[in-house]
A and B are shown apart, each in its own frame.
Chain A
Amino acid sequence: MSDPRPGRHYRLDDPSPDVAERLESARTYLPAQESEPLSDTEAPVTPALDAALAPPRKRRWGLFVVLASTLGLGLVQAMDTLYAAALGGDWLAGAWSLVGILLLGLGGKALVAELWRLRKLRRHARLRARLDEEWMQPEADTSAHDPMALAGALRSQMELSTSHPHWQSFVQAHQPHHSAHETRELVAHHLLHPRDRAARRLVTRMSGETAVMVAISPLTLIDMSLMAWRNIAMLDRIAALYGLQLGYASRLRLFRDVLRNMAFAGASEMATDAGMDLLSMNVAGKLSARAGQGLGAGLLTARLGLRAIAMTRPIAFEPEERPRLADLRREVWHQLRRLEDGSKQE
């Protein structure tokens, strides 16, 4: 163990920190000098299980190559036609090829945007993992990382400007001596709580409305498409609250992740909730079959919404502040009851 460094005095008129960076020159060490192997990252605790549960990693390179080459070849051909048309004076063909180029340009732009948003989703997931790793342990050795730098990364990921009031109030609350865990608490309060509240309101409203819609819709087919449409819209808005703009592909991926999460990770939680769900659906079913169906659909939406919040929120919830399905269940039930009462009065 090396000794702790002794104290040192500095003169008060020492230069300010923003001295230009100095470049390090090459250095040679004696071969006999003590050195140790570069430490490699820790393996996960249950590698086999994690690998089995993790989604299979598919890279759709084929699809991507086909799309890109179609765009590229189309572009070349359209240029060629345009050139030939300009030489031959065939103005109509020239105009068509111009339209073609425009179309290909739009397609290419959409493709790039999709890829960009997918990348952003992936970056979001990475940031989440990093925040979890570095901020979750209470008093771990965090001197290596600057908690404020991580908070800044989160801010830019959430697309807040430095003058945003939420960010400003966080900056005011943050002190240089705050540890990573304390910084996390402050970030959660100043940046995330307002968004959590909005997201919760959204899920409540959407699940209630879905329940009512399914309860009154005359056709099963319409039920299904209504639910799918509304759920995807809800997912979109929740993601937007936490600073994620979803494209087509990224939306699909997030939706898939949420569903997978519900199927695997959330199964144990579901077991506790399912009992109550079944009971309330039974009770609702006694009132009317439609109300039972509606309640089931509403609860599914609520569960999906909560799962989506938990997955898109940059910092995982503390156990006691996690929004619960039980609170939402009551509100969905109230919505349906209102419908029931309304129909009785008429």
Chain B
Amino acid sequence: MARRRALTQEIQNLIDRGRDRQLRLAVTGLSRAGKTAFLTSLVNQLRHAGIDARLDLLKAAREERLLGAQRMSQPDLGIPRFPFDEAVSSLATTPPRWPEPTRGISELRLTLRYRTRRAHGLLGDTATLTLDLIDYPGEWLLDLPLLEHDFLSWSVSQLQQMGPERQRYAREWQEAVARFTPDDIVDESELASLAERYAESLRQAREAGFSHLQPGRFLLPGDLQGAPVLQFFPLPGVKESDRATLDSLPSTSLYQTLARRFRYYQQHVVKPFYREHFRRFDRQIVLVDVLGALNAGAERFEDLSLALSTLMRSFDYGKRSLLNRLFSPRIDRLAIAATKADHVTPDQHANLVTLLEALLAEPIKDLRYADVPVRALSLAAIRATEAREIEEEGRRQPVLRGHGLDDQPLLIYPGDVPRTLPSPDFWQRQGFTFTGFRPPSSDGASALPHIRMDAALEWLLGDKLR
């Protein structure tokens, strides 16, 4: 019975995809980039479309053709539902809190109902569009580039990419692992403690604002806590030129043990995650917390840029046709968004977008080559501040009014956003301190305020809502 239902569901999906009435939207972002807030706001805005949500830049909503959206039961019953109600209720507490960071995968299916442009058609005058979304911890996403590597090349690249500051966190682990050579036979408990030290160095680096941290499950193990598959680490001191000698080591050697676990991690943790959730997307939005990276400093900024460009290689981009829409979907349109745009004054939004484009310069080149349209924008899924102006020294000074994370009222000019990454000596002199804000007070029943969610939706879905 369940099997038959699954089959009919599958066929229905296929029909919907054939008619181009189903979209899978990839909401991509590293941890703390604002994925959960984006999804919460997206559901909220679409639910309130045509009532009290201001979606003026979404053409279908502006022309009053968007009738609303409904959350549907998702196709895959084995995956938890996106905790929308929890997120809304945490926004509605006093004082409001941001939704909890995501700790596992969840799915969400929305159907949008809209009036078609031409009121009379073959298929009636209203149409529906199914939108599939998933939420997942951003840490896990960084595992996707891991699939391109084997253990040796991964070890080399990991140690190469560590900047001086990253090295500081990894020093303890490096000293511990330096006692061993690749052909040593190391017992389980020693391996476990070494792996734990490596994981600890990753955790410290994340606390310090780094983002390009692999493997992601070390940071957020989920149900794999303590399993041997999570007990490996890159091996320092190995070189690509030693490949033949390393491969001929006995299977009990340190190198071979680690390589086996790495392969297992690839095959049984990363691959299923990729296959089940990341292969089939039609549209993508990449959320980047540019302000957070600026706050953290120059090296973290470069680190974020590297993480995002390796990450974006894991997705398929290209033009869609009927055939590959059915059998091998590709991302044919992409938005890159600098989130938390409400944390700077509106006159800085243009700079924020320019900086975002600089951050993603490499992937944008690849996308241009693949002829996939990309749009960069600044957005705030849930607008926490209000833009105002004050008079200072005879001229108008834009400021923000809101509440700090400690619930203190603030009236603040958060500072300029640079158009390009400043020179190294600037970071020593000044650096950036963009203030965090708590979400705005809401009653949980009205539409959330936002910045350019409508523009993002127009870019991602607008051409399907005609």
Contacts and interface: CB of A to CB of B under 8 A. Distances in A.
B411 A3 contact: no
Contacts of B105: none
B412 A175 contact: no
For B57, B418, B435, which residue has the most chain A Cβ atoms within 10 angstroms? B57
Interface string B404-437: 0000011111111110001000100110111100
A327 interface: no
Interface string A299-341: 0000000000000000000000000000000000000000000
Nearest to A169: B56
Contact of B413 (A10, A22, A141): A10
Interface string B311-354: 00000000000000000000000000000010000111110010
Given A15-B390, A17-B391, A22-B394, A8 B412 contact: yes
B455 interface: yes
Contacts of B394: 21-22, 24
B396 interface: yes
A212 to B, nearest CB: 28
Given A141-B350, A177-B452, A179-B349, A7 B57 contact: no
Interface in B382-407: 387, 389-391, 394, 396, 399, 401
B370 to A, nearest CB: 21
A189 B401 CA distance: 30
Q: Is the interface of B mostly helix, strand, loop or mixed?
A: mixed
Contacts of B399: 10
B346 A176 contact: yes
Contacts of B391: 15-19
A14 B390 contact: yes
A4 B349 contact: no
Interface string A171-210: 0011111110010011001000000000000000000000
A9 interface: yes
Contacts of A173: 54, 56, 62
B413 A7 contact: yes
B91 interface: no
A9 B412 contact: yes
Contacts of B235: none
A143 B378 CA distance: 15
B54 A175 contact: yes
Contacts of B389: 17
A7 B414 contact: yes
B199 interface: no
Contacts of B353: 139
B346 A177 contact: yes
B415 A6 contact: yes
Interface string A100-127: 0000000000000000000000000000
A179 B350 contact: yes
A21 B394 CA distance: 7
Contacts of A18: 391
A22 B413 CA distance: 22
B350 A142 contact: yes
Contacts of B451: 175, 177
Nearest to B379: A177
Contacts of A176: 346, 387
A190 to B, nearest CB: 9
A55 B414 CA distance: 51
Contacts of B390: 10, 14-15, 17
B433 A143 contact: no
A85 B416 CA distance: 78
B413 A185 contact: no
B426 A3 contact: yes
A10 B411 contact: yes
A177 B341 contact: yes
B304 to A, nearest CB: 18
Contacts of A30: none
Contacts of A17: 389-391, 396
Nearest to B409: A12
B interface, size bucket: 35 or more
Interface in A140-173: 140-143, 173
A173 B434 CA distance: 29
Interface residues of A, number: 36
B243 to A, nearest CB: 46
A178 B341 CA distance: 12
Interface in A48-68: none
A52 B417 CA distance: 45
Contacts of A12: 401, 409-411
Contacts of A27: none
A109 B179 CA distance: 101
Nearest to B354: A139
Contacts of A186: 56-57, 62
A4 B417 contact: yes
A288 B44 CA distance: 62
Contacts of B415: 4-8
Nearest to A174: B56
A35 to B, nearest CB: 21
Given A17-B389, A22-B394, A139 B350 contact: yes
Nearest to A10: B411
B380 to A, nearest CB: 9
A182 B396 contact: no
For A6, A16, A21, A186, which residue has the most chain B Cβ atoms within 10 angstroms? A6
A6 B411 contact: no
A296 to B, nearest CB: 30
A182 B347 CA distance: 14
A11 interface: yes
A141 B391 CA distance: 23
B416 A4 contact: yes
Interface string B338-378: 00010000111110010000000000000000000000100
Given A142-B350, A189-B62, A4 B54 contact: no
Contacts of B350: 139-143, 179
B57 A182 contact: yes
A3 B389 CA distance: 22
A11 B401 CA distance: 10
Given A139-B353, A142-B350, A11 B426 contact: no
Contacts of B414: 7
Contacts of B426: 3
B412 A3 contact: no
A24 B394 CA distance: 9
B349 A3 contact: no
28 contacts: A3-B429, A3-B430, A4-B415, A4-B416, A4-B432, A5-B415, A5-B416, A6-B415, A7-B412, A7-B435, A9-B410, A9-B413, A12-B410, A14-B390, A14-B411, A17-B390, A19-B391, A22-B394, A139-B376, A141-B350, A143-B350, A173-B54, A173-B62, A175-B54, A177-B387, A186-B62, A189-B62, A189-B63
Given A7-B413, A173-B62, 6 more contacts: A1-B422, A7-B435, A9-B411, A10-B412, A12-B409, A142-B350
10 tightest A-B contacts by CB? A4-B416, A7-B415, A173-B56, A177-B346, A143-B347, A10-B411, A8-B413, A176-B387, A5-B416, A19-B391
Interface of A: 1, 3-12, 14-19, 21-22, 24, 139-143, 173-179, 182, 185-186, 189
